[in-house]
Amino acid sequence: MQVNENSKRVEEENAYHEELKELLNLLKSPDPDVKKKSARKIAAFGDFFIPELFEMLRYGDESVVEGVVLALSEIGEDAVEPLIFALSDDEEKVRMAAVWSLGLILGEKAVEHLIKALSDRSQRVRTAAAITLANVEATEALVKALKSEDWKVSYGAGRAIIEAGSRIIPSLLEHLSKNESTEDRILEVLGEIKDEVSNSLFELIKDYDDKSIVAAEVISKLDNTAEYIHKALISGNRRVREAACVLLASMRRYDLLIDALEDDSWFVRFISAEALSEAEDEILKRAKDSLFRLLEDEKKIVRNSAAKTLRRLGK
């Protein structure tokens, strides 16, 4: 009886291995759909065949590695510990595959080790980790990594934020509103993608919600954004123009507010006239004609502001 049970178990294991061989061969297919179907079927075997998959990683070509990454990510949580262990493998391509797989599986533990992979000895692995982190929800971990004393981790976290671009901005602002200790480093990173960031920040500013103030503060602190903000003064969206006007005033770029004195929005006209009262005489002289016209403005607050500014010229 025991012999029959052992024979049956051996037959079942042999059947598993035969089926796996066929599925593993399908992972090499150039057809993405075939790869995905094979990966899902392999995942149905659980973690039993993970060693074979890692062997394929070690000796397979790029197409095979792609298929194995899909299979490991389909296995999911059961593959996390082996993948974390693989991050210490001597083979670069094994470590890279582990990074890609962990990025597809996700979870707190996966993110923690992806951050550690930012300090890998291989630049390719570090880049893979940064790109992976850019495509997952890991803002808190990335911000923490920005403060790392390991330059590779700090740099990699910055690259991940840059790679994520506008998608990460809302959660980044939320973090900034709670913790200012990383502000300088975050601003340094955002400065590298200021055009894309500025677009996203303006979208948040015009919504007039809790993130508006933080967004306005961030954009005003980024280097060389005044000209970009100035372009927003011709936006068809009144809220964008109002936000741009306030930002330019806070940045003391009075020279860029002269045209805003003619804006359809009384608020833009008021802020511009008010801000120009602190401008140098040369700028005031350029704005004089527009300020005179504002003395006839429909809004008393705008008229008063224009009059106050013109008194600076002795008029």
Task: Spell out the domain ranges in the chain.
Answer: 2-311
pLDDT at residue 286 in the model: 92
Distance in angstroms (rounded) separating the CA atoms of residues 219 and 106:
31
Higher-confidence residue of 188 and 94: namely 94
Longest dimension (CA), the chain: 113
pLDDT at residue 217 in the model: 67
pLDDT at residue 272 in the model: 92
- Collapse the DSSP code of 182 into the 3-class scheme (helix H, G, I; strand E, B; otherwise coil) and give the result: coil
Distance in angstroms (rounded) separating the CA atoms of residues 246 and 272:
8
How confident is the model over 146-165, as pLDDT tens digits? 888 888 888 888 888 888 77
How confident is the model over 208-265, as pLDDT tens digits? 555 666 666 676 666 667 777 787 788 788 887 888 888 888 888 899 999 999 999 9
* pTM exceeds cut of 0.75: no
The mean pLDDT of the chain is 79
Distance in angstroms (rounded) separating the CA atoms of residues 183 and 205:
19
Distance in angstroms (rounded) separating the CA atoms of residues 226 and 136:
31
Q: Residue 291 in contact with residue 306, Cβ under 8 Å?
A: yes
Q: Residue 231 in contact with residue 257, Cβ under 8 Å?
A: no
pLDDT at residue 289 in the model: 92
